[in-house]
A and B are shown apart, each in its own frame.
Chain A
Amino acid sequence: MADVRCPMCGKPNPEELELCQFCQARIKPLEGRSPAEEFNSPIGAEPPLDTGGEQDSIDEWLNFLRQSEDEGEPRPFDEEQLADWMKEDLDIKMPESQEPLEPEGTPDWLSSLRSIADEDAPEPPDVEKAQPAVEPSPTDSSEENEIPGWLSKLRSRRTAEEGEADQEFAFQLGEEPKISEQAGIQEDRSAISTESVSDWLSELRGEEAPVVDSSQPPELVQEELPAGQVEIGEEVVQPGVGVVSQDEDIPVVEADRASEIQPQTEEIPDWLAGIVAGGAAVAAAEGVEADLDNLPEWLADLEKSSALDREEIVPFGEEGEELTFDWLQTQVRAGQETPYGEELTSDTLGTEADTRGVGPFVGDLSDFLEEAELSSLEAAQPGVEQPGGDLSPAELPTWLEAMRPVDAAAGVYAIDAQDGQVESSGPLAGMQGVLPAEPEIARLKKPAVYALRLQVTESQRAHASLLDELVKSEGEPKEIPGRPAVTSPYLFRLIIFAVLISTILWQVFTGSRTSPLPGLMPETFDTSEIIDDLPENALVLLGVDYDPALAGEMEAAAASLVDHMMLKVAYLGLVSTSSTGPALGEHLIATVGSLSGNRYQGIEMYANLGYLPGGASGLQAFAQAPRQVAPFALDPETTAVWSNTPFQAAQDLAGFDLVAVITDDSDKARAWIEQVQPTLNGTPLIMVISTQAEPLVRPYYQANPKQVDGMVVGLAGGGSYEQSHQDLLAGNGLARKYWDAFSLSVLAAVVLIAVGGFVNLVTNLLNAQKQSKADKKR
């Protein structure tokens, strides 16, 4: 069983294994992989392509470089596998480096260079002349045995072509290379290598263009570095390899294919593509004209030998039919490629170098980003023509141009690409990392099904049914119980009315006077005495302060008293604090006159002074200045009574012989007593009051000294006054008329109240018993 060496670690593995059993790197390359897989695959886990045994050796050599670059740690250098000339070179150049090199075969990038040179590059007219003269080094036969075949072939060709090629190459370089002031290590290295390497290589170095320092003019750089090496700061740009750190020892490769590097970035590992691109840019920026026509013959042979290998490389767009996005990638590649053989000016290369600040890992970017960067490069290279000018450039659809994420979506795309989700349908089919149409959170999920049946107990069910019945009963209309037309209160009120009106009608129609009038009362007696003491033509102030509602009682109580005054031919001055008082006074005078037959009419008999507004204040003012407050009478002539007799003699109320007040209101009686009585100065004050006002007026009568000199209280007082003066009112006083009816009505009222109260009391008791029984039953 043949072993297969791992391209990564170089250790032998069984042939049937696809992955290295030591480093898990893929041994067998995958064919027809999608660009996305290439994009996501790790750099060191996948060999570029299988190009045969020679290619394997190159891969191993490149893997060594990758691993050393990735791990950054030295590896044991396998000196046995190197050729002698290479051993010497390595020993002199980098004695500290111990990494093994694989001199066998040609690197992948070099194979690509050759293939491109065969296919695309126009055949230079004098390639042979452009080849630098290489003199065969005087080496031993043993050394020649250890030299690889391709190198031996190269050496034999150089022997035949030395001389003129050497001269032409020197002519193209123009002048001797100058020593670079910046890289001292480079200087030492070049000096050592000039001495220790084989002769053919020494000649080659001496004849080829030196490495150009980016910070130095081309003349200086060419003097320092050997041909084919371009130094960028501390890094050495090796054509075909790119920028290589000076700490690493790598084979020196020709630098005249810097412009060719960029198209090869897709065929070489990504990490190397970036380096190549960067090196090419730096080399171009330094003004080095990489004339592809001046390739040495040995390098041309290498290109020819690797032409077949290159044909085995599966180009982009042909890997698999399932990749629907290949057309776009192809377009990107086409736009990315720089025409072979096209000389890049320093300006364009400088622009490219600036643009590719992140350049070494262009392959790691998304296709869109690559396209964006490369399109910017194209814009910066107006003179560069696309290879294959007859091919019309692919045009992206407008909608795809609008949807294309360029810069802002780069990070998102990189994150989504790791998910490995590939769009399966729609115009974006085949694209990876496409944002979902709707977020995960908005996706509808079938709701969980819960049981709708409540877990209730029997008691809860009973309460619920009860509540349901209550709610239903509330909504149902209920019949309003018909109200009986005749209710007990209504009937009782009718009975009261009937009893009272019957007693009154009986008295009216029968005219009976069965009830004797009350006897003479003390207050009535005092009142009668005061009136009896009045002189003739006495001036009496009669206050009429009662309401028409109580006129029946007040007139019956006062009629005999007024008639008594009229008998004394007293001049009456009527005044009232009520708005209806003047009319009531007129009504009283007329009533008494009609009953007694006295003709008290006109201003000659009495003067109606009218209404005193202001209540107690009006009384106060009238008591203080009666002439100013009530200067005129209410007769048709509006007589100024105070200027006529008998009012002319009275300057104030004290000038009156008597002040008599007829009122049904205790407050008015009190106002008269408190506001007027103090101003009377001995003038007697008597009052005819209603029964309801008696309790409040009596204290003034019972006071000592009396504030009220006499009282006639209600119908009983009037009857008593009439009883004491039988001659008044012609013996047909109002009190006498009303007294029987009054007594019967009072009796009826007492009976009604008593009976009704008893009935209601019994009813209430019965209801209370029923209620108590009902409560006991409950």
Chain B
Amino acid sequence: MGSGCDHPGWGSIETGGADMKIPVAAAIAIAFGLVVLAGYFLPLPELVSLRTILVQWSMIIASTALFVGVANLLRVHWFKLRKGGTASAYSFLLIASLLVTLVVVGLYGPTGSWSLWIFNSIQFPIESSLMAILAVVLIYSAARLMRRRMDLFSLLFGMAVLLVLLGSAPIFGIEIPFLYGPDGLRSLIVQIPAVAGARGILLGVALGTIATGLRILIGADRPYGG
């Protein structure tokens, strides 16, 4: 913490006439992280209560961040609407939908009849339709896989897709013995190689989470902008 440090997240605190810059944001993040972590390992009521308060603060901050995000979205599309052009119609539609939903949900609450009507009549079918289109695209991509990349792994991937699909449901009521059922080939594929791969991913995620937490605790990473 020399005086020559010009890191933007490091605050300036005068101590005894000497201008020493202390990373205030990093210090706060490290201190709070250590407190929350200690609350898991040390069953002290004070630490648990302090940890609970800090986690609740995080929820409030996240809610504020969501509100800020919505405000920024409104601002961006407001500028696009003022700029004009063909894309301004979409911006107008977005702003209008946002304002209408905000007004309706504000008036009737998130579970009001009009609010649910907007959700059930607009958002729900749209997102379901997008998922239906995804089915077509996935089938097309799987069929084109042999054209784009013709190798052993592509062949194995295609064969696994076909076996899992065939084992997902009986064909015209005919259950393929070695595919369908808890002891079928599909179950073997899903529960052994897929789970093995998923566990490996989980272990990797856990290790990555620990490393990320440690880096944040020691101040090496400052995702909070400090």
Total CB contacts across the A-B interface at under 8 A: 195
B119 to chain A, nearest CB (A): 4
Residue in chain B with minimal CB distance to A714: B168
CA distance A552 to B127 in the complex (A): 10
* Pairwise interchain contact A551-B124, C-beta atoms closer than 8 A: yes
Whether A514 contacts B172 in the complex (CB less than 8 A), given A493-B140, A549-B127, comes out as yes
Please encode chain A, from 544 to 572, with 1 for each CB lying within 8 Å of some chain B CB and 0 for all others: 00011111100000000000000000000
Number of interface residues, chain A, beta carbon within 8 A? 76
- B120 at the A interface (CB under 8 A): yes
* Pairwise interchain contact A500-B111, C-beta atoms closer than 8 A: no
Of B123, B142, B168, which is in contact with the most chain A CB atoms at under 10 Å from its CB?
A: B168
Please encode chain A, from 525 to 551, with 1 for each CB lying within 8 Å of some chain B CB and 0 for all others: 000000000000000000000011111
Residue in chain A with minimal CB distance to B52: A624
B131 to chain A, nearest CB (A): 4
Whether A763 contacts B116 in the complex (CB less than 8 A), given A552-B128, A624-B55, comes out as no
| Segment of B11-19, B20-28, B77-85, B189-197 in the binding face | B189-197
- Which one, B116, B139, B199, contacts A586 given CB within 8 A? B116
- A743 at the B interface (CB under 8 A): yes
Please encode chain B, from 144 to 170, with 1 for each CB lying within 8 Å of some chain A CB and 0 for all others: 111100100000001001100110111
* Pairwise interchain contact A749-B56, C-beta atoms closer than 8 A: no
* Pairwise interchain contact B62-A614, C-beta atoms closer than 8 A: yes
A727 to chain B, nearest CB (A): 23
CA distance A625 to B62 in the complex (A): 17
- A422 at the B interface (CB under 8 A): no
CA distance A755 to B139 in the complex (A): 11
Residues of chain A within 8 A of B202, CB atoms compared: 670, 696, 699
* Pairwise interchain contact A519-B181, C-beta atoms closer than 8 A: yes
Residue in chain A with minimal CB distance to B162: A750
Residues of chain A within 8 A of B195, CB atoms compared: 695, 698-699, 702
Residues of chain B within 8 A of A765, CB atoms compared: 150
* Pairwise interchain contact A514-B173, C-beta atoms closer than 8 A: yes
- B110 at the A interface (CB under 8 A): yes
* Pairwise interchain contact B127-A548, C-beta atoms closer than 8 A: yes
* Pairwise interchain contact B139-A749, C-beta atoms closer than 8 A: yes
- B109 at the A interface (CB under 8 A): yes
* Pairwise interchain contact B143-A760, C-beta atoms closer than 8 A: yes
- Which one, B59, B119, B131, B173, contacts A613 given CB within 8 A? B59
Whether A758 contacts B58 in the complex (CB less than 8 A), given A583-B110, A670-B202, A746-B168, comes out as no
Residue in chain B with minimal CB distance to A691: B168
B166 to chain A, nearest CB (A): 6
A sample of 7 inter-chain contacts (CB < 8 A) reads A489-B144, A492-B143, A515-B170, A629-B56, A694-B190, A756-B140, A764-B150
Task: Apart from A612-B59, A613-B66, A758-B146, list 4 A-B contacts with CB within 8 A.
Answer: A493-B140, A519-B181, A583-B120, A624-B48
Q: Which A residues form the contact surface with B (CB < 8 A)?
A: 489, 492-493, 496-497, 500, 514-516, 518-519, 521-522, 547-552, 579-580, 582-583, 586-587, 608, 610-615, 617-618, 620-621, 624-625, 628-629, 634-636, 638, 666, 670, 691, 694-696, 698-699, 702, 716, 739, 742-747, 749-750, 752-761, 763-765
